Amino acid sequence: MAVDKLDTRILKLLIEQPRTSVREYARILGVARGTVQSRLDRLERDGVITGTGPMLSPAALGHPVLAFVHIEVTQGHLDEVGDALATVPEIIEAFSITGGGDLLTRVAARDNGHLEDVIQQLIQLPGVVRTRTEMALRERVAHRLLPLVESVGRGPGHP
C-alpha cells in the first residue's frame, strides 16, 4: 500500500495532535473533511493505522522496572508458549526473533523482586527451556514513529 504526501501529512497530524477532530485536520490541511475521513478509513483498512487508544506509561501505573526477557523454547512449542505469554499481565510485548533465543518479551514490573517472580513464572511454562534477562536502565529514545512517517513521506532517495 502506497502512502502519499497527503497520507503522510494526515499521519503526522494524528501523531502530533491525536485529540483533534477530523474537521480540524481538514481545515489545517486545506482539504475536504470527507477526503480526510476516506484517507483515515483506508489507512486503517490497510493496517497503517493500527489503533487509536492512548499511550500509557507502565511506570506511572506502578511498574517502573522494565526488562527484556529472551526465552528459548522447546522445538515445536513456539505457538503454545506464545499463547501462555499472553496470559501474563506483566508481558507488554512479545516477538518471535532470530538469534539468541526464540522469543523476546518486554516485561514491566513493580520492583526487582516482582521481576524475579515474573521470570520464575515464565520458566515454569511448558515448553520454556531457559530465559535470559536484560534490564533497561534509562530510556534513550522513546517509542516514536514521526521520523519514520516523515521519511516515508519524502519518498525514496529524498533525505
Cell numbers found for residue 58: 507502565
Q: What is the pTM assigned to this prediction?
A: 0.83
84: closest CA among 111, 118, 34? 118
Are 104 and 85 in contact by the 8 Å Cβ rule? The answer is no
pLDDT in tens, 111-134: 999 999 999 999 999 999 999 999
pLDDT in tens, 57-81: 999 999 999 999 999 999 999 999 9
For 96, residues 6+ apart whose C-beta sits below 8 A from its C-beta are 78, 82, 102, 103
Query: What is residue 29's three-state secondary structure?
Result: helix
